[in-house]
Structure 1
C-alpha cells in the first residue's frame, strides 16, 4: 500500500477540526494582546491558519496536543526533510487537558486549554539551544512562560533525548492514500 505524509492529503475534515479546535485561542488580536517570550520570540498570531503535522496524547500529563507547522515546516515534512528541519521552520504545539467527550463517553476530547508553545528553527541565531528558539504561553491569558530567557534550558533538557532527531519529538503523521488519486 502506498503511503504519503498526512500533510499532503489536506483532508477537509482535518481542516474543519483544526479551525474548531483553535477558534478561541488566542482571543482577539494576539499580536496586540500577547507579550513576547522573555527571549524575544513573538506569539505567532496566525498559527490558527497553520496545518496539522501530527497529534499526541501524553498519558503522564493527561493532555492532548495538536502539533502544527508553518508553511516551511509543512513543505519540509512533505519532502521528508525533517532531520534536520530547515531554517525558517516553526512548529507549534497547542495543549489541552484531556477529558471524556460529554456527548459521547467513548471519546477522549480536548477540555481546558493549558498552553501553546513554539519552536523556531534558526541554526545560527539559536546555536546555543540546538538551533531552535523556544517559547511558551500559558493559560487562557497566554502569559509568557519563564522569568527570563534561561527558561530555554528547560526546553533543551527535555528535548535532549531526541537530539539525534534535530531535537524534535514529533514525527509527521502519515496516512494511506487512495492510489487512484
Structure 2
C-alpha cells in the first residue's frame, strides 16, 4: 500500500511539473516580421456607418505569405504555414483625399491545423499599433467567432483580386 501511495505521489508530481514546464508559446502566433514585403492581396476602407467601424474603422491592407498566396490564387483551402496579415491604419480625410494615418493594429492569422484545431486550424493575434504588444486575450471569442461565418472560405474573409 505504501509503495502504491509513493508511486501515485510521484506520478502526480511529474504530471504537475510537466504541465508547469510546458511552453505555451507553441500556441502563440508570431509577429510577422517583413510582412510588408509579402504580396499585397487587397485594400479596404471601413467608414463610419459600417457595423464594424468602431472596432475596425480605417484602411485595411491585407498581405499574404507565399503559402497563403497559393491558396488565394487557386481558391483552395489554405495549407499549414499560411500567414495572412491584416494591417489596419487610421484613415485621414484631408483635402478631398484619404491617406494612411497611424497604425492601429497588425492582425495575424497563422494556419497550423494541429496547434489551432479548436479554431478551424487558424491561430489569431493582434499587435497594438507599431508595437509587438499582444492584444488578443481570447482567440475564439475575439476573432474566430466572427470568422465562423466564413467557414466555406476556410474562415478567411478576403479574396484575391486578380
TM-score normalised by structure 1 residue count = 0.65
| Worse-matched range after superposition: 133-142 or 112-121 | 133-142
| Mapped partners of 2:155, 2:112: distance in 1 | 13
Which structure has more RCO (C-alpha within 8 Å, separation ≥ 6)? 1
Are 1:132 and 2:132 matched, yes or no? Answer: no
Match of 2:6 in 1: none
Match of 1:122 in 2: 112
Match of 1:97 in 2: 90
Runs of 4 or more off by more than 3 Å in structure 1?
A: none
Deviation at 1:75, TM superposition (A): 2.2
CA RMSD in angstroms comes to: 2.0
Asked whether the equivalents of residues 116 and 138 of structure 1 are also in contact (C-alpha less than 8 Å), the reply is yes
- Secondary structure in 1 matching 2:32: coil
Distance change >3 Å, CA 162–CA 79, structure 1 → 2: closer
- Secondary structure in 2 matching 1:74: helix
Are 1:172 and 2:160 matched, yes or no? Answer: yes
Pairs aligned (count):
131
Match of 1:112 in 2: 102
| Structure 1 portions without partners, runs of 5+ | 1-36, 175-181
- Could you say which structure has the higher helix fraction? 2
Deviations 1:88-141 (A, max 9, x none): 1100010011112x4xx2321211210101101122221100110111101233
